[in-house]
Structure 1
Amino acid sequence: MAQQDEGRREAPVQGGPDEALDREAEEVTLAVMAASRLVVALSARALAAVDVPLTLPQLRSLVALRTCGPIKLAAMAATLGVSSSTALRMVERLETLGLTDRRVNPDNRREVVLRLTPAGEELVDRVLGHRRAEIRALVARLPAPERAGLVPALTALTAAAGDLDPGLDPAGEAGRLAGVVDDPLNPAP
């Protein structure tokens, strides 16, 4: 019977360190979720401030293209965590709006490479600039010690995410998986 108990973890003693850690982890989780909802709300407000009818997923696609540069459709789908057909439908909608451009990869004519148009770049700049200004205004309302505490905490949270979001590290996994060069439509000699 002693062997059966090996590997089992006893329930934490009420008021013990495990319970305190669980409570703290739950408080942090709820605070991060609230902050996440705030950022999504600010993104939606920034999107509403522009005169182009976009959804948040479409904005995310534009930001992915901005972050990754020219990218293959399959790599964009992987970056967004959607199927290639879903990514293609989104790109077609964005292309209709004049925000993205699709071209055949000169190195492999079976591949399509996506990139932002100048209008797409300008729209991303406007939306992200609006969101940044709103976040900056909120941050400015915080007392200096609380502001200073946010930097290491948010940096640590982003680092802990690691490879959960390839968009957090544009030079990382998404680019490696995509096999994308700096600009496949205009490769360097």
Structure 2
Amino acid sequence: MVRQANRDAPPTRQTSRETPRQTPREALDDAAVEEVGEVVMAASRLFVAISARSLAAIDTTLTLPQLRTLVVLDGEGPVKLAALATALDVNPSTAMRTVDKLEAQALVDRQVNPDNRREVLLRLTPEGAGLVERVMDHRRREIRAIVSRLPADQRTGLVRSLRALAGAADEALTGPEPGPAERTARSI
């Protein structure tokens, strides 16, 4: 015998352990967000591969984290170690080890802050700046070659979508006005 629910009974309260049922619209929205997430992850893998190929193309032993450090220094100018670590979102000791390796390759140097002689500023050497320029030029060429394969209407849609994604990321990560580290992160 099948028991029928009492239609006149008061609704039961949902406990915190129960999962609320999604409407069909919410389920579609979740599926769309999941699909976008997967596509963005695939694009992210593509851009990391392009960065790695760009490093290999200029015949350097530089790692991607070291390149990221150089790009931040290129965008920020001379900075203190703490500011660099914040921009890279790493511990100062990690930033220091990276800087030590880059300094050994003559890509970064340290200088006394002219405004406060107790502080040391980190900056790119001309060799470091040239390396960043060569890697970025290679990345731009490779991205341009990929994007040029898309029809014009898809390129327009891609620009709109990527701008919207970048704007949403800025709001989610930094609030309405990004600081210098967040502006630099966009160039990496």
**TM band (smaller chain):** 0.7 to 0.9
CA drift at 1:124? 0.3
Partner SS state of residue 157, structure 1? helix
| TM-score w.r.t. length of structure 1 | 0.82
Match of 1:19 among 27, 34, 38: 27
Any idea what SS the aligned residue of 1:71 has?
coil
Alpha-carbon distance change, 164 to 48 in structure 1, aligned in 2, over 3 angstroms: farther
Greater CA drift, 98-107 or 31-40: 98-107
Equivalents in 2 of 1:53, 1:164: separation in Å?
Answer: 35
For normalisation by structure 2, the TM-score amounts to 0.82
**Deviation string, structure 1 residues 107-130 (Cα, Å, up to 9, x no partner):** 223322111111111100000100
Give, in whole Å, the separation in 2 of the partners of 1:55 and 1:65: 15
Where structure 1 has 5 or more consecutive residues not aligned to the other structure, the ranges are 176-189
Q: Give 1:122's aligned residue.
A: 130
Alignment-mate amino acid for residue 23 of structure 1: A
Aligned: 1:36 with 2:17 = no
Q: How does 1:11-160 map to 2 (within 5 A)?
A: 11-13=21-23, 16-160=24-168
1:7-32 deviation per Cα after TM superposition (whole angstroms, max 9, x unaligned): 9973114xx10000000000000000
- Write the letter of the residue equivalent to 1:172: G
After superposition, give the CA deviation of every residue in 1:62-112 in whole Å (9 maximum; x if it has no partner): 000011111111000000011111111111111111111111212223322
- Between the aligned residues of both structures, percent identity stands at 54
Show structure 1 runs of 4+ deviating over 6 A: 6-9, 163-166
Q: Which runs of 5+ in 2 are unaligned?
A: 1-9, 183-188
* Number of residue pairs matched by the alignment: 170
- Distance (whole Å) between structure 2 residues aligned to residue 49 and residue 12 of structure 1: 50
- Contact 2:111–2:121 (CA under 8 A) maintained in structure 1: yes
Question: 2:106 aligns to what SS in structure 1?
Answer: coil
Q: Does 1:174 align with 2:181?
A: yes
